[in-house]
């Protein structure tokens, strides 16, 4: 039985990988429609032939790595369950201490280490391709530093979650998902509050915008939008990437508008002001609060489904999966497997909502600046710096794109009429 399950799981993964490769490299198209050729959305009008070739190559490789990485994670969780590795970690943790909190720490550390080792090859391949296509500027040492920071940040977050979650499972048996859902809300808000001031600085240096003349103009936009902003921050991303970005992070008094230094170096003032107006659009339209509401709803549904599936699988297949009870620490890979599958299945919906909000922010940016030329040039520069596709394949768009495609964004700008 063990050999049969393993064989089927590995074959299913390989067939999925082959299907994705054929779709991305042979079946899916990414050219713009014929009636848009020669317009501002056509890559041939703002990229040279080499840049077009590189963007196609890099986008296909990046998308392939994404689509094979997610089920690779599922395969890993499945195999450590049926081979009894998870059960072995649980026995080791229980033999070390009688305290639940110590057992959780030991078990989670062992699981985290083996997960890091198993997924490292795909992470390294992704890094090497990003480096080869001149997207990443990181040295291997700096990249490994970020990987190690990721490991410990994720371990600490998961330690808190797992310790509380499995205590609730023992305490409430079948209805554990209800208090877990309720406790996830303040935890999520707390993490959003400390993200800009505790976690983000572990990876990069943040400081107030050095260009005070530009900051004055950005703050004037903020005042026009009734946003109580006092500072704009920049972050030194040039030591890591050539890509461009700006974003809003945090909530309440810890909310920040952040510009990458690559954006400041590669874009002109009008383009930067358009980007800032876009980010202000998220604030004005309260997208962060809609995001919190969506998170609460999806988390509740996800935990309910996860609890139902786990109870059913442990009851019927617990012996094969080496799980004696849902509340056993050895069931954690099953919990992670189910939640990962649910997140992947929900991504077309969450990405659609995000794309809608991003398009609204683009429109707000146009309302504030009314500068079509700067907006179109911004999207051209973003495409060039990230070697992204203007019109990605459909499945890539719905599963990966939380922003509208560049074709959609540029067309919106070209057709925009100020109210």
278 annotated to a ligand binding site: yes
Position 161 scores a pLDDT of: 95
Closest CA to 123 of 55, 200, 66: 66
Closest CA to 88 of 107, 103, 115: 107
Alpha-helix residue ranges (DSSP H) falling in 83-176: 85-96, 100-132, 140-172
358 annotated to a ligand binding site: yes
Position 314 scores a pLDDT of: 93
For the full predicted model, state whether its pTM sits above 0.85.
yes
Question: Rounded CA gap, 79 and 119, in Å?
Answer: 14
Q: Provide the residue-wise pLDDT of the chain in tens; the chain has 419 residues.
A: 677 888 888 999 999 999 999 999 999 888 899 899 999 999 999 999 999 999 999 999 999 999 999 999 999 999 999 999 999 999 999 999 889 899 999 999 999 999 999 999 999 999 999 999 999 999 999 999 999 999 999 999 999 999 999 999 999 988 999 999 999 999 988 888 888 878 888 888 888 888 888 888 888 888 887 777 677 888 888 889 988 888 777 666 666 778 898 999 999 999 999 998 998 898 888 888 898 999 999 999 999 999 999 999 999 988 888 999 999 999 999 999 999 999 999 999 999 999 999 999 999 999 999 899 999 999 999 999 999 999 999 999 999 999 999 999 999 999 987 66
Is 233 strand, coil or helix? strand
100 annotated to a ligand binding site: no
Position 229 scores a pLDDT of: 67
Position 278 scores a pLDDT of: 92
Question: Rounded CA gap, 94 and 85, in Å?
Answer: 14
Edge-first strand order for the sheet with 233-235 is: 206-208, 233-235, 256-260, 246-249
**C-alpha to C-alpha distances, 285 to 16, 126, 244, 275, 360, nearest whole angstrom:** 40, 35, 24, 16, 8
Q: List CB contacts of 285: < 8 A, sequence separation 6 or more.
A: 357, 360, 361, 364
> Mind telling me the catalytic residues?
279, 362
The full set of domain ranges for the chain reads: 2-203+287-415
Alpha-helix residue ranges (DSSP H) falling in 49-97: 49-82, 85-96
């Amino acid at each position: 039985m063990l050999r049969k399950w393993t064989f089927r799981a590995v074959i299913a993964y390989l067939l999925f990988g082959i299907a994705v490769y054929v779709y991305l490299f042979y079946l899916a198209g990414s050219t713009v429609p014929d009636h848009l050729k020669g317009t501002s959305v056509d890559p041939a009008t703002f990229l040279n032939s080499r840049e077009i070739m590189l963007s196609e190559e890099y986008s296909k490789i990046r998308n392939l790595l994404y689509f094979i990485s997610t089920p690779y994670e599922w395969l890993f969780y499945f195999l450590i369950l049926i081979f009894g590795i998870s059960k072995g970690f649980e026995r080791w943790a229980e033999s070390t201490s009688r305290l639940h909190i110590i057992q959780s720490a030991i078990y989670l550390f062992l699981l985290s280490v083996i997960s890091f080792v198993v997924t490292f090859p795909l992470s390294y391949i992704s890094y090497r391709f990003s480096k080869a296509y001149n997207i990443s500027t990181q040295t291997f040492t700096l990249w490994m530093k970020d990987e190690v920071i990721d490991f410990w940040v994720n371990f600490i977050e998961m330690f808190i979650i797992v310790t509380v979650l499995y205590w609730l499972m023992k305490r409430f048996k079948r209805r554990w998902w209800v208090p877990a859902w309720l406790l996830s809300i303040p935890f999520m808000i707390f993490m959003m509050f400390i993200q800009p001031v505790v976690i983000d600085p572990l990876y990069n240096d943040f400081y107030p915008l050095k260009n005070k003349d530009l900051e004055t103009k950005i703050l004037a936009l903020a005042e026009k939008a009734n946003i109580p902003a006092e500072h704009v921050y920049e972050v030194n991303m040039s030591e890591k990437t050539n890509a461009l970005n700006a974003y809003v992070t945090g909530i309440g008094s810890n909310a920040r508008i952040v510009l990458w230094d690559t954006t400041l170096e590669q874009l002109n003032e009008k383009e930067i002001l358009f980007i800032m107006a876009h980010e202000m659009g998220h604030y004005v339209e309260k997208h962060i609060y809609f995001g919190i509401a969506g998170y609460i709803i999806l988390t509740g549904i996800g935990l309910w489904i996860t609890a139902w599936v786990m109870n059913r699988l442990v009851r019927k297949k617990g012996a094969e999966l080496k799980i004696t009870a849902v509340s056993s620490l050895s069931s954690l890979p099953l919990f992670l497997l189910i939640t990962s599958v649910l997140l992947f299945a929900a991504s077309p919906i969450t990405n659609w909502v995000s794309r809608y909000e991003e398009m609204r922010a683009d429109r707000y940016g146009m309302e504030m600046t009314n500068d079509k030329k700067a907006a179109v040039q911004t999207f051209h520069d973003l495409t060039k710096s990230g070697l992204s596709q203007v019109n990605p394949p459909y499945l890539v768009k719905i599963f990966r794109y939380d922003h509208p495609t560049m074709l959609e964004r540029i067309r919106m700008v070209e057709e925009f009429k100020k109210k």
